[in-house]
Amino acid sequence: MSKRLRRDEINLDAAKKIAKNLIAHRIWNGLTQTQMGDTIGVSFQQYQKMEKCVNRIYAEDLEVICDTYKWDIAMMYTSPEGVLREWCDRIYPNSEKKPHEAECIERKWNNTETSADKYYKRRTKSYNVITNKEESWNG
């Protein structure tokens, strides 16, 4: 694997982590994508694309979101699964069943994984957007 593809893969993993944490924080705090978009001055569709890893979120926008809602920006770079587990354990101790918010967050995460992988392939040189298929490189 080339250095560029390795770097792109690392960047995609970081983008997924940030997107998943944004989803978790938004849903857990009862916020809409419209409210999040308004916070950074974009439409809800543009914000939705950030959560799906179709578009990347700017560092400045991430900082504005975290400052506005008093979220620790360092949390955006931690394991989203660990964050969700900690929230559930703290707020619903000894609960056998996951709270509704956690189930909703996990569904959104699955959508993010699927769309992020799809759009990542389109950003690599091995994806032909005309045929909508991956191509092998012989060069």
Domains in the chain: boundaries:
3-133
SS3 19: helix
Cβ(88)–Cβ(102) under 8 Å? Answer: yes
Check whether 119 has a pLDDT greater than 90. no
pLDDT of 40-98, one tens digit each? 999 999 999 999 998 889 999 999 999 999 999 999 999 999 999 999 999 888 887 88
Across the strands, what pairs with 134?
127
> Mean of the per-residue pLDDT values for the chain?
86
Which residues have C-beta within 8 Å of that of residue 91, sequence separation ≥ 6? Answer: 99
The pLDDT value recorded for residue 137 is 46
The pLDDT value recorded for residue 5 is 60
* Confidence band, pLDDT 50/70/90 cuts, at residue 125: low
Q: How many CB atoms lie within 10 A of CB 92?
A: 14
The pLDDT value recorded for residue 127 is 56
